[in-house]
Amino acid sequence: MTSAVAKYLDTRGPGLHHITLRVDDIEGVLGRLRAHGVRLIDESPRPGAEGALVAFVHPSSAHGVLVELKQTPGRAASRSGGVLAPPTAALDASATVPRFNTPTRYQLGALELLSLSDGFFHLDGGAMFGVVPRTLWEKRLPPDRRNRIPLAMRPLIVRGERTLLIDAGCGDKMDAKSADIYGLERGYHLDHALDEAGLAASDIDLVLASHLHFDHVGGFTAKRDDAVVPRFPNARYLAHRQEWEDATHPHERNRASYWPENFVPLAHAGVLALVDDEAEIMPGVRLRRSGGHTRHHQMVMIESRGTTAVFAADMYPTCAHVPDPWVMAYDLYPMETLAFKRQFAREAIEREYLVFFEHEPSMAAGVIRERDGKRTVERVI
């Protein structure tokens, strides 16, 4: 016998090893515990026996008792109203994708980078990988029963001369129907992450949009009573001039992604500034137009003392998008995405940029490596 329990019996004799609590929304429970400062052994759920998801709470936070949280197959709560999802024979494959949402800190020269989480959502796997067949992408990100893959929303804070927030997740204005379509999991969200990082909404000086799609800027505004207002009370909000033009004049193909309530109230409140290509946001931080996804989609280059990080937004939504032709069907100009990636990937590999993957469920950032023509991402945070 070599199991953990056998070892425990060998050294301590019979007694209580741990207790198990059944939960319906293990992600949400972990988020709430973390927000209350509870020490966790598992920051995110991992596969347990019989298709369950489990996570352990450290005994030091539970009066010396090891506590296991367990979500059994079919017990996942529906996000629209806490109603239990119908039982399934097998757990959704997507539930086995490791989800990582702990705030992480990285010192880039003189700048401090804080990767935060606004929770997770789901998009159609086919749409996320364009012409790449499911038989290939499902090995990287297994889909759920509705063919959706789990995706993170990871805003980034850059602290230097000022405190800058890049993107802000989807926020809390989504109605129940959309929350169900997008499989929203926000048991732990940006407010929790800011809190854990020791920041308040009022500490943010600048809020920058990579582009104005709802999963990037939904958190720019919030409902207060019946009004929708800027969520960061002291911040100046920055968006690219032509992206703003496109977002406020949508067509049939992009209308579903541009939700006016996420950005129009900023203009009304007088807190919006429009910037152009290559704009310097603050010392060491500048825009770099990639186009492709939207005509004026921007990456953010962050440089200090000879080291470079890049907030890639929807150019590299996940690590699986690192091969050049793995381009989203959502992209309005996929050939432009391909052209940009071909050239940018060479640069990122040669100069060992730290790349932030905004939608990657399992990590925040890494360095792209290439060996024998095969690309991988070496996780850094």
Q: Whose Cβ is closer to Zn ion: residue 69's or residue 123's? A: 123
Question: Considering the complex, what minimum distance in angstroms separates the CB of residue 148 from Zn ion?
Answer: 16
Q: Whose Cβ is closer to Zn ion: residue 204's or residue 209's? A: 209
> Looking at beta carbons, which residue is closest to Zn ion?
213
Q: Whose Cβ is closer to Zn ion: residue 26's or residue 247's? A: 247
Q: Whose Cβ is closer to Zn ion: residue 185's or residue 314's? A: 314
Question: Considering the complex, what minimum distance in angstroms separates the CB of residue 357 from Zn ion?
Answer: 14
Q: Whose Cβ is closer to Zn ion: residue 72's or residue 121's? A: 121
Question: Considering the complex, what minimum distance in angstroms separates the CB of residue 290 from Zn ion?
Answer: 11
237's CB contacts (< 8 A; 6+ apart) are 206, 207, 208, 209, 220, 230, 266, 271, 272, 273
Question: Considering the complex, what minimum distance in angstroms separates the CB of residue 162 from Zn ion?
Answer: 25
Question: Considering the complex, what minimum distance in angstroms separates the CB of residue 216 from Zn ion?
Answer: 6
Give residues in contact with Zn ion (CB under 5 A).
Answer: 213, 314
Closest CA to 128 of 316, 328, 312: 328
Q: Whose Cβ is closer to Zn ion: residue 79's or residue 359's? A: 359
Closest CA to 266 of 226, 301, 222, 303: 222
Question: Considering the complex, what minimum distance in angstroms separates the CB of residue 348 from Zn ion?
Answer: 20
Q: Whose Cβ is closer to Zn ion: residue 144's or residue 314's? A: 314
Q: Are strands 206-208 and 236-240 parallel, antiparallel or unpaired?
A: parallel
Question: Considering the complex, what minimum distance in angstroms separates the CB of residue 254 from Zn ion?
Answer: 9
